[in-house]
Structure 1
Amino acid sequence: MSLPSLHSLRTFESVARLGNIAAAAAELHVTPGAVSQQLRALQLSLGLDLFEKQGRRQVLTERGTALQKSVAIAMRQISGSIRDISANAYSAATKATLRVSVPSVFATTWLATRIFRFLDENQDIRMQMLTAVRFEEVDWRKVDVAIVYGNPPWPGFWWRLLQSLPMTPVCSPQLLRGPHAIREPRDLLHHRLLHEDDGSQWRRWLNEARVPHFVESDIYFDNFAMVLQAARDGHGVALTSGIISFRDRDEGRLVQPLTLNVPSAPQYHCICREEGLENPLIGRFVDWLVNQASRPSGW
């Protein structure tokens, strides 16, 4: 019997690990129909049922479990070999420079805690970090990969959503004390609402909270790092996502006084030119970045 194709085995391993065809399709960047077709072809070629459906999940049969263990080991060995030979290929040459553009607040609150891990694992790469927030601000003559805050489409570019951003209020712990302590949404009306935009994000949140409001501020910022610092200093309440505020909340500088969150209109995306993914350095960084963002603890 001839061996199944590596592509079908990779598809099988993804479905077996994730337990869901749609999730595997997203990971492999193909349609769910293409994943189902690969699974059917694999099972027909083997003459075996590898899965049985339980609700929305694809559960491995006994024979499927045995095959999954072998395939998972083989995939890890192949990936490890590719990493090794790639590292060896670059080790004799001068380190290549990867130029990455990133919003400053994203860099300081999330990427800075992880990027050195990437460099330790990829010692053939030297990185140059630049700052820009939106796609229009990125100078693509100087940038290989960018993390941008906005919404596609961007013709001629590949992009991937890093994570949906639920927005929720954060403030200094001192605003939880005193006669106007924040305990429910209406208490926000006693405090300055800190804005980076024209107030639309706060209007969306207050509408969801059913709080009558007239959103206007005596100060607006064009840099969200300034918004966060004002919140840390107790000057008002910021509306932000977990990805941006996690470190401050974890270290006690900010607290989340209310549980209601609303989706952000713009989102963080990883983006590069369509032809950029053919560059192994760019592809390696993009794969790492998307993997970091997809982890439950990634934020």
Structure 2
Amino acid sequence: MALPPLHSFRVFESVARLGSLAAAAVELHVTTGAVSQQVKALQASLGVELFEKRGRQRVLTASGRELQKRVASAMGEITEAVQALQSGIRQEERVAISLSIPPAEGVEWLTRPLLRFMEESSSVRVSVITAPGMPQVDWRRADIAVIYGTPPWPGFWWSLLHGIRMTPVCSPQYLRGPRAIHEVADLARHRLLHEDDGSQWQQWLSEAGFGRGGAEDIHFEDFGMVLQAARDGFGVALSDETVSARDLDEGRLVRPLPISVPAVHNYYCICPEATRERPEIRAFIEWLLSIGE
């Protein structure tokens, strides 16, 4: 039996290690489609399924785990042999990508997979800078940015990364006692916490069929302060279930009402039109979009 092309084993090892076709595409500097075709061709040649899909992740089957163990070992030996031969010669440079993201609070859904990618990828070095909005992005340093806002942005390419649906979140204490929140009208007894001029709460209240929010509302410029105030019981905030997933899972925040509405702003992946022509940038954008699906 003839062996499949060795390159297909390299692609397989990258997908197995990173758990994602898109992440492997970034590391290999090719498109996600090219990685998918290589994996399919390898599976067809071997006559076994190597992966199964669980949510957004590619998980190895029993056959895949056995092959990955041997391929990773073989590739490690090949790498060591090449490095020994090239002793004293400059090693292959890692591709560098600079990503601008909003301050960490509110983008934990992005930072966790990003940190895993930075840890696992062997040929791509991602540096992260922060900017709260489009006007603050330093495009002299950033190749790509994740922006919380609303297009258009002339001269830039963009794509929706994560569409947000806003729902009230608050401290668990707001579910108990005489001022507990059981229906929309109960919000009138509590402060509403804003990260904008009040537009988002106004939209939510309008769609919920209620015209008045809480007394003595508080406005912040920073979304992180909004969420911290909600955790500490100073009022009710609006957040997205994905954005606040960890707080909700660990009980620091709860959803007192089931109503959610589309956000005024959303998260977008954006870069200069010319920058997007670089193969590694296209591949990294595909990986980013796969996170937001």
Indicate whether the TM-score tops 0.5: yes
Q: TM-score, normalised by structure 2?
A: 0.67
Extract unaligned runs of 5+ from structure 2: 1-30, 32-36, 45-74, 80-89
Instruction: Note the alpha carbon deviations across 1:11-45, whole angstroms, 9 max, x for none.
Output: xxxxxxxxxxxxxxxxx9xxxxxxxxxxxxxxxxx
What letter corresponds to residue 163 of structure 1 in structure 2? H
Deviates more, 1:102-111 or 1:225-234: 102-111
Aligned mates of 1:99, 1:200 — CA distance in 2 = 33
Aligned mates of 1:148, 1:71 — CA distance in 2 = 33
Aligned mates of 2:155, 2:121 — CA distance in 1 = 28
1:74 counterpart residue number: 41
1:43 counterpart residue number: none
Q: Cα–Cα, structure 1 residues 215 and 235, in superposed 2: closer, same or farther, change >3 Å?
A: closer
Instruction: Note the alpha carbon deviations across 1:189-231, whole angstroms, 9 max, x for none.
Output: 1111001101111111111112231577453111100100010
**For the Cα contact (< 8 Å) 1:105–1:224, is it kept in 2?**
no
SS of match in other structure, 1:234 = coil
1:178 is aligned to 2:180: no
Instruction: Note the alpha carbon deviations across 1:69-91, whole angstroms, 9 max, x for none.
Output: x99823989xxxxxx9xxx9xx9
Aligned mates of 2:140, 2:257 — CA distance in 1 = 43
1:289 counterpart residue number: 288
Aligned mates of 2:120, 2:185 — CA distance in 1 = 49
1:237 is aligned to 2:236: yes
Aligned mates of 1:176, 1:107 — CA distance in 2 = 24
1:277 is aligned to 2:276: yes
C-alpha displacement of 1:107: 6.3
SS of match in other structure, 1:189 = helix
**For the Cα contact (< 8 Å) 2:192–2:217, is it kept in 1?**
no
Please list, as runs of the form range in 1=range in 2, the aligned pairs for 1:190-229 lying within 5 A after superposition.
Answer: 190-213=189-212, 217-229=216-228
C-alpha displacement of 1:119: 2.0
1:130 counterpart residue number: 129
Extract unaligned runs of 5+ from structure 1: 1-27, 29-69, 78-83, 295-299
Aligned mates of 1:123, 1:217 — CA distance in 2 = 52
What letter corresponds to residue 285 of structure 1 in structure 2? F
SS of match in other structure, 2:271 = strand
CA RMSD of aligned residues (A): 2.7
Higher helix share: 1
Q: Cα–Cα, structure 1 residues 216 and 95, in superposed 2: closer, same or farther, change >3 Å?
A: farther
**For the Cα contact (< 8 Å) 1:150–1:266, is it kept in 2?**
yes
Q: Cα–Cα, structure 1 residues 76 and 255, in superposed 2: closer, same or farther, change >3 Å?
A: farther
**For the Cα contact (< 8 Å) 2:194–2:217, is it kept in 1?**
no
1:146 counterpart residue number: 145
C-alpha displacement of 1:117: 2.2
Identity in percent:
48
Aligned mates of 1:118, 1:139 — CA distance in 2 = 23
Q: Cα–Cα, structure 1 residues 124 and 209, in superposed 2: closer, same or farther, change >3 Å?
A: same
What letter corresponds to residue 279 of structure 1 in structure 2? R
**For the Cα contact (< 8 Å) 2:106–2:223, is it kept in 1?**
no
**For the Cα contact (< 8 Å) 1:199–1:216, is it kept in 2?**
no
SS of match in other structure, 1:147 = strand
SS of match in other structure, 2:274 = helix
Q: Cα–Cα, structure 1 residues 143 and 273, in superposed 2: closer, same or farther, change >3 Å?
A: same
Q: Which structure would you say has the larger RCO, counting Cα contacts within 8 Å and 6 or more residues apart?
A: 2
Please list, as runs of the form range in 1=range in 2, the aligned pairs for 1:56-67 lying within 5 A after superposition.
Answer: none
C-alpha displacement of 1:104: 1.1
Q: Cα–Cα, structure 1 residues 76 and 293, in superposed 2: closer, same or farther, change >3 Å?
A: farther
Q: Cα–Cα, structure 1 residues 226 and 288, in superposed 2: closer, same or farther, change >3 Å?
A: same
**For the Cα contact (< 8 Å) 2:98–2:129, is it kept in 1?**
yes
C-alpha displacement of 1:142: 1.2
**For the Cα contact (< 8 Å) 1:172–1:255, is it kept in 2?**
yes
Aligned mates of 1:139, 1:101 — CA distance in 2 = 8
Instruction: Note the alpha carbon deviations across 1:222-248, whole angstroms, 9 max, x for none.
Output: 110010001011111001112211111
C-alpha displacement of 1:186: 0.7
What letter corresponds to residue 176 of structure 1 in structure 2? L
**For the Cα contact (< 8 Å) 1:148–1:269, is it kept in 2?**
yes
SS of match in other structure, 2:96 = strand
What letter corresponds to residue 203 of structure 1 in structure 2? Q
